[in-house]
Structure 1
């Protein structure tokens, strides 16, 4: 299949606005919604969050024209459970998918049939829905593929393990496998991210006259540092000290991994700039709200060096840790009509807040309970913002870990399998989580541990005794 044929026209995506509650007062067309989810982008990887080695001008502009959050958290510290939390509005003590669990030969642990997702919420609200990038919440032919989970259009990777390669043997367009034989035998002919971005842009154009919900789940800057050596790469080619990566752990060898990483984030920033420019060109900039974030903290795979870039910013930890660097992520929200430019919010929020936020934004009732709280009062600077009593995470690798934040106190319990250690931190005075206060505040530890024990339900698939 050639590239031109991939840029299809979504003429079948017909969505009607919800019925008016009051016929005498017609409901205004709701905002279009674009949710951009980067993959393993750290809290400090954007220049508006302090990155010094390179600049991200489009995301910086998005923050300058919108709202930047300083205390937003991913659903988990690895991909699949983080995305499940986002999709269902539930933290990892309640989600079905609580870890990265592979299904052979392609895919991951699926969500159950009938699971209510962000896609279904937006379909119920009358939106055309599309997801472009990585799915990672099922396997081809399962009950949990984008088409069964509320998305009219899907283009990208079904399997997050296959998404480690930027020159894949295939991608998926809905339930159709799109083959790239030119990428076989380590070929570097067809780069996935540009195709995925083109599909996302086409979806926006095709649905410019109706409400749409587009999730742009690019895999940048995850896994191997393998990308076109074009003008984006060449601007960094001789910019940094480099230690060539030897290709261990199965990733592609890279001569200049630091240049590659900077180019990957820059490419992502360019994509965001093109989305914002297209919205303005179509006259949709004031009628579209754009969210940007990352699924967890920075990774150390494929030659990536978060220490060199200080990808975790002022935080401690990387992907697979429940320290702040593993779970606190960039979060920028942009809409020139509703969000005051240049605002910064310290409100403590998390992925599971997106379900009630979009429910309120679209005026659609939720048919399910969530762990989230709508962010609309903060985003619109209107009314009183409700606060979380606590945030909770669990991680099902490396012996198992749990974390809970209540106010500025944070308790970490690790590992769950084997000898257990409790760590207590005061994030107000110790953002880097250097000083364990557990022995000094036993009553606080007991209080938070009780919350932690009651925050979760048991899962037959993801339990802390699982090998």
Structure 2
């Protein structure tokens, strides 16, 4: 049964209470430890695909890896660990970003799609199903968020720079400072910018009357020949200096709007991409500009003398945009992965993942452990040393990765990862439909709500998801169907609504004989 709005609020409030108890216990434990926690830079690029960097995350370097220039990410990977099975919490932005902030998967938060305006459902119309009731305004002021937890446990000064997209316009959640950040640089309700150019005032006014996309807080750069990602890096460096001067550890959530549309070239890098289709060349400059911003932050850390005590995480909020061609063929920009942003397939959710923790991660190492965005909540709290890695909450879906970063393994049985997006993104393409999915070991089961179709893939043998094994492996299908149903029920997930009957679609185990 689909929970009503009041039930959803009860789940949220219950989680907040649980986390307050957890934080109180761990803060008390902190006084006994007396260890100064590390600085943390979490660099989350927008819409950056698994193949959109020069660091290969596949077994072999691909054409895309050779095309794009990300030298600073290469240096970071050489200092830390590269996760080849790194995932985003969702195939679109807001659910992943709010999962980072809460440690919960979107199925549990009921923030299962992207938001924009207050009380408005942005879901596109689907012929067979419609979206259930969900939290259309996303994060609001009372939840225990990552910056709040880090401040409570380690005294962190927290800085948000760039895309927020955590709460709808006209709500408290549109401003990251209402969610626990001390500083907000240019974050607001919209998921994309009006323009990347300072000469446009980072506004869409040159092409649209709608001001919702205009990026706030960068007035000092209006009218100037500067790319937005560059301005964000300058401002983030200033904020880092201020926190460091006070003797506090800093948590920097650097989230460039790039490489989200509109695709706009940074002319400073175009010479590196001569011969490419103009739109693809422009896209490549956006990637290189983001990498240069990563380099700028690392330079600041070095200038502050903090390199050896600063953890740096690099990832993306969802798979790369592939539904719109950039001079190539649609739905191929993440190859060998299938499809891209908005899709249930690997191209929609598998993303770059690198963690460098001086003195802990083995330089240049590669790890095939399955990891996902909401793991970062408990992991970063554990990194503070204040909970000795023992902080746990039944409401958290994320796993503490500190044992993995130290060269070990996750505690307990082999993990499963749940995805749930009961919404239609509005673009036709492979896997772009309301769905739920689970990965456990090498197996991935997808359940498309509208068609009631189940698909089963062995990702070790078929990373491109080309061979559906649901008919030939009935025992695995049954096991995975039970697991997916269990995970959905545990999260109190809200299932899509059949437009003909008005009833929620069945859980997947009901379809398996």
Q: Are 1:374 and 2:403 an aligned pair?
A: no
In structure 1, the partner of 2:253 is 215
Alignment deviations for residues 73-95 of structure 1 (CA, whole Å, 9 cap, x no partner): 10100001111111111112212
Give the total of aligned pairs.
423
- For residue 131 of structure 1, the aligned residue among 160, 173, 179 is 160
Query: Residues 121 and 366 of structure 1 are in contact (CA less than 8 Å); yes or no, is this contact kept in structure 2?
Result: no
Match status 1:76 vs 2:90: yes
- 1:194 deviation in Å? 2.2
Matched, 1:436 2:464: no
Aligned residue in 2 for 1:446: 478
Q: State the distance in 1 between where 2:368 and 2:495 align.
A: 33
> Which of 270, 277, 285 does residue 299 from structure 2 map onto?
277
In the TM superposition, residue 382 of structure 1 has moved relative to its aligned partner by 5.0
Say if 2:216 is the partner of 1:172: yes
Question: By percentage of residues, which structure has more helix?
Answer: 2
**Does the 8 Å contact 2:229/2:289 carry over to 1?**
no
Verify the 8 A CA contact 2:108 2:493 in the aligned structure 1.
Answer: no
What does 1:161-310 correspond to in 2, within 5 Å? 161-163=191-193, 165-167=195-197, 168-169=202-203, 170-173=214-217, 191-208=227-244, 209-229=247-267, 231-236=268-273, 238-240=274-276, 242=277, 256-300=278-322, 304=326
Per the alignment, do residues 216 and 46 of structure 1 end up closer, same or farther by CA in structure 2, a change over 3 Å counting? same
Deviation readout 1:238-275 (Å, 9 max, x if unpaired) = 231x2xxxxxxxxxxxxx11110111111111111111
**Residue equivalent to 1:43:** 50
Q: Deviations over 1:338-377 (max 9, x none)?
A: 2221111111111111111112111244667201111101
User: CA separation in 2, counterparts of 1:368 and 1:460?
Assistant: 14
In structure 2, distance between residues paired with 1:388 and 1:222: 34
- Asked if 1:146 is matched to 2:146, the reply is no
After TM superposition, the score normalised by the length of structure 1 is 0.82
More divergent stretch after superposition (457-466 vs 281-290): 457-466
CA contact (8 A) 2:115 2:138 kept: no
Residue 278 of structure 1: CA displacement? 1.7
Residue segments in structure 1 that go unaligned for 5+ positions in a row: 1-17, 243-255
Inter-partner Cα distance in structure 2 for 1:48 and 1:310: 19
User: In structure 2, do the counterparts of structure 1 residues 329 and 19 end up closer, same or farther at CA, with 3 Å as the change threshold?
Assistant: closer
Deviation at 1:458, TM superposition (A): 9.6
Contact in 2 for aligned 1:96/1:459 (Cα 8 Å): no
The alignment yields a C-alpha RMSD, in angstroms, of 3.0
Q: Secondary structure at the match of 2:352?
A: strand
Which runs of 5 or more residues in structure 2 are unaligned?
1-25, 123-135, 204-213, 425-432, 500-513
Rounded to whole Å, the distance in 1 between the matches of 2:383 and 2:328 is 36
Contact 1:225 1:302 in 2 (8 A): no
In structure 2, the residue matched to 1:114 is 142
Question: Is the contact made by 1:66 and 1:340 (CA closer than 8 Å) also made in structure 2?
Answer: yes
Instruction: Give the superposition deviation at 1:163.
Output: 2.6
Q: Which residue of 2 aligns with 1:357?
A: 379
**Aligned 8 A contact 2:323 2:330 in 1:** no
